[in-house]
Amino acid sequence: MKKKLLIAIGALLVGGVTLGFSLPTIVHSLGLHPTYRGETYELPGKRALIITTSHGVLNAPGESDGPPTGVMASEFTHPYYGFLDAGMRVDVASIKGGPIPVDPQTLNFIIRTPEDERYLEDPALQAKVKNSLRIDDVDFTQYDAIFISGGWGAAYDLGYSDALAKKVSEAYYAKNPILGSVCHGALGFIRAKDRDGNLLIAGRKMTGVSDKQVHELGIDVTPQHPETELRRAGVLYESATAFRDLLATHVVVDDEQRFVTGQNQNSGHETAHKMMELIARRSRS
């Protein structure tokens, strides 16, 4: 009897370990971080700027303590390596400059992506994350692509930054930069204004993380939610849905083809490549 019990316990332990190692494959097959299979581009000589949050605490209004958060790893690693592998020069900036808080949960082995693994072995990108440029000191008009990453931290500073709003408007009127975002990164556009003082994104088709996904994940504590704020700014909001919106993905190019926005953490690859498609098309014309 004792021998049978030990065998059963051993089998359970082996099964548990096997399941643990299989979890990344399982969640990927369910729809988390789908593999990008679209066209790739060669854009040597072009420049890209990735912008992130500087906020690193998931705190309730009026509080300063909470779990660590920041930018979601894949929401900057996917576009970064997409642009880099196309031959582009890629800079990294944040609201305050200096060290960027990377949400530690998003580097958990269950949801970690190949690009996240690449970042963990890449001293060049790690140095850029540790010593990010301050957006106030960056000339947005000198870039071909400006990509605003999301993550829960972005809900605390992107949509409140006067400097970011001003820089986005300057980039738009410079005609050259394609402006992109993923998930909460869309909050970086909500305060930008046109030359008449109207909100720049009003009337445009755009996306960002859905209120449904926010509620499903139970992160209602953040001060801004992209779907709510985009609709409030007059955006023609679009999104895809699934059993859980964490497993959905959607990318929108506005009619003017200046803004490319991705719904959530699943959309970073496609968003960056849609941006590069627009840049390549311009280069050929």
CA distance 249 to 209: 9
Above 70 in pLDDT, residue 88? yes
Q: What are phi and psi of 142, to 5 degrees?
A: -90, 5
Average pLDDT of the segment spanning 26-51: 94
Residue 247 neighbours by CB under 8 Å, 6+ apart:
30, 31, 32, 266
State whether the Cα torsion 42-36-244-218 is positive or negative.
Answer: negative
Inform me whether the pLDDT recorded for 2 exceeds 50: no
As a whole number, the mean pLDDT across the chain is 93
* CATH code at position 154: 3.40.50.880
Cα gap 234→224, rounded to integer Å? 16
- Is 122 within a domain? yes
pLDDT digits (tens, 9 = 90+) for 211-255: 999 999 999 999 999 999 999 999 999 999 999 999 999 999 999
Specify if 33 maps to a domain: no
Q: Which two tokens stand for residue 104?
A: 């530690």
Q: Is residue 10 part of a domain?
A: no
DSSP states of 38-95: S-----TT-EEEEEE----B---TT-----B--B-THHHHHHHHHHHHTT-EEEEEES
More confident residue, 201 or 1: 201
Q: How far apart (Å, rounded) are the C-alpha atoms in residues 166 and 14?
A: 56
Q: What pLDDT is stored for residue 9 in this prediction?
A: 55
User: What six digits make up the tokens of 86?
Assistant: 């196309």
User: What's the confidence (pLDDT) of residue 5?
Assistant: 42
Phi, psi of 189 (to 5 degrees): -100, -15
**Residue 209 forms part of a structural domain:** yes
User: Average pLDDT for residues 187-203, to the nearest whole number?
Assistant: 98
Longest dimension (CA), the chain: 83
Domain-embedded: residue 11:
no
Give residue 19's pLDDT.
38
Q: Does residue 65 fall inside a structural domain?
A: yes
Q: Phi and psi (nearest 5°) for 157?
A: -135, -30
Give the whole-angstrom CA distance, residue 207 versus residue 227. Answer: 7
Structural domain includes residue 39: no
**What's the sign of the alpha-carbon dihedral 243, 245, 248, 254?**
positive
Token pair of 243 as six digits: 């059993």
Per cent of the chain over pLDDT 70 is 92
pLDDT tens figures, 106-156:
999 999 999 999 999 999 999 999 999 999 999 999 999 999 999 999 999
17 has pLDDT over 50: no
Range of 97's domain?
A: 44-284
Predicted confidence (pLDDT) at residue 15 exceeds the cutoff of 70:
no
pLDDT at 34 over 70: yes
Structurally, the chain folds into a number of domains equal to 1
With a cut of 60, say whether residue 181 has pLDDT above it: yes
Backbone angles phi, psi at 32, to 5 degrees: -75, 130
Question: For residue 250, is it within any domain?
Answer: yes
- pLDDT confidence of residue 24: 87
Check: CB of residue 255 under 8 Å from CB of residue 61. Answer: no
Contacts of 190 (CB under 8 A, 6+ apart): 159, 165, 199, 201, 229, 230, 232, 233
